[in-house]
Amino acid sequence: MRGIPSLITDIRKNVFTEVARMAYAGGDYSHAEDLPYIIVPGDQPLHRESVFLERAIAGERVRLAMGLSIRPIQTRTLMTEGMDAAAVAEQYYEPPLINIIPYACHACPTDQYKVSNYCQNCLAASCQKVCPKDAISFRNNRSYIDLDKCIRCGKCAKACPYNAIVHLERPCAAACGMDAIGSDEHGRASIDQDKCVACGQCLVSCPFGAIVDKGQIFQVIQSILKGDKVIAIVAPAFVGQFGKHSTPGKFVTAMKQLGFVRVVEVAVGADMCTIEEAKDFMEKVPAEQPFMATSCCPAWHSMVHKLFPAQSKNISMTLTPMVFTARLMKKQYPGCKVVFVGPCAAKKLEAIREDIRSDVDFVLTFEELMGMFQAKEIDFETLEDSDVLNEGTAAGRGFAVSGGVAGAVENIIHQTHPGVEVKTARAEGLRECRKLMTLAKAGKYDGYLLEGMACPGGCVAGAGTLLPVELASKVVGRYQNEAHRESPLDSDYKDQGKSLEEE
């Protein structure tokens, strides 16, 4: 369902737009109580059994978009409860980042096998014959599975000649590579926050839109209105995300209309990251550690720390492209505020780490930024091109797609150390990342550079993107080809990485 326009994407867009419009209007935010009625107009429900339920869910979405927590169902609380604390020009949200709105959850079936109407009551009865637990019988001229006996091995489904046995799995749980999705006492989905790494794949996989991440739209706009010098550092996956007319030049113009004083591509930081990770690899592998894992994806980084703590020391200590670029801006423009704009929900968690929160002031996803564009009624087709973003190299822009990080580091090592063989392995999606690390733990990847991407396809598949993954990858590829420089060694900032790391 990624990249397919739907009622869910429309609702998210409307919420972000209305929160941004309220923030830009300035003054009293108490009329936030009216937003659910704007988002869900009229007296007839659009998709649920009650318009009142739809508005209640919209109200929680508004709160989450402002960084606030979901209100408890059992107590009477105003929708604006806590908004005075959130209406500030500084980084703000109450953990946890990823949330399930309970009464929006459909309580989808968990992992189970069911017999559909396609069962032909055949004489072979293959499903019954292969079941190791005698869980299958025949009732009313069709196969029947006793779920109390079923061990979910799937042998019956494979044996059925009519494909009449289907595997039902909760979409959010299937998408979660950390197995962090369980059920509450009512059968609704719940998140084990100790396991969650905030990749957001559950969010984009829920067909009922019940899973929502918290945002900082309101705080970013407050900072702009306050008069802060707010600089946007933009992940390379931005290209093409805002429609066919949103060229890089028009994008810069649009960002300045929102109030940002400067726009910088994070590919600049990716170039510095590439150089420093290449140095890190050559110095430490195998002299100090058996292998090295890239540091760029925060959800991959968190997964390794949670599930493979003994191997976490093998993650490169190099700063991520976001932090490199943010520190560069703080150095060039003392006192500025930095907003990272990208496809990733997990970057919101990275930005509040104690060692980073002074570098990155806010994080916005592309979805949230689109809400700001719509709130200001920006039409890309009518905009003029501004200064084109041309400081990042093709390699740095390639960080947006799976394989881009490892490929860039490998190429740098070949340039700086001709003849040295670099072995790389990569995984995309947290389940595959876990397999990769399991093999690395067993010594199967000694001497390797490992790249892990939590989202299948890389950053272009992050939870905050607007384009289908395949299209986004193609657009980023074209953007790479348009770069003025190929290698990070050609970057104007190639010598600044180490000094920025030490600041």
Largest CA distance in the chain: 79
The residue written with tokens 């703000």 in the block is 92
Q: Which tens digits make up the pLDDT trace of 382-403?
A: 999 987 889 999 999 999 999 9
Query: How large is the average pLDDT for residues 57-84?
Result: 92
CA distance 425 to 293: 10
Q: Which tens digits make up the pLDDT trace of 2-17?
A: 667 888 999 999 999 9
> Can you give the pTM of this predicted structure?
0.94
The residue written with tokens 């700001």 in the block is 372
Q: Is 102 helix (H, G, I), strand (E, B) or coil?
A: helix
The answer to whether residue 1 scores a pLDDT higher than 60 is: no
CA distance 65 to 17: 10
- Contact 243/380 with Cβ under 8 angstroms? yes
Could you give the C-alpha distances from 196 to 300, 307, 467, in angstroms and in order? 11, 11, 25
The answer to whether residue 47 scores a pLDDT higher than 70 is: yes
* Residue 293: φ, ψ to 5°: -105, 145
CA distance 270 to 403: 14
Count the Cβ atoms, other than its own, within 10 Å of residue 388: 14
Q: Which residues contact 354 (CB under 8 A, 6 or more apart)?
A: none
Domains of the chain: 7-107+174-218 (3.30.70.20), 112-168 (3.30.70.20), 219-502 (no CATH)
Percent of the chain with pLDDT strictly greater than 70: 99
Q: Which tens digits make up the pLDDT trace of 437-473?
A: 999 999 999 999 999 999 999 999 999 999 999 999 9
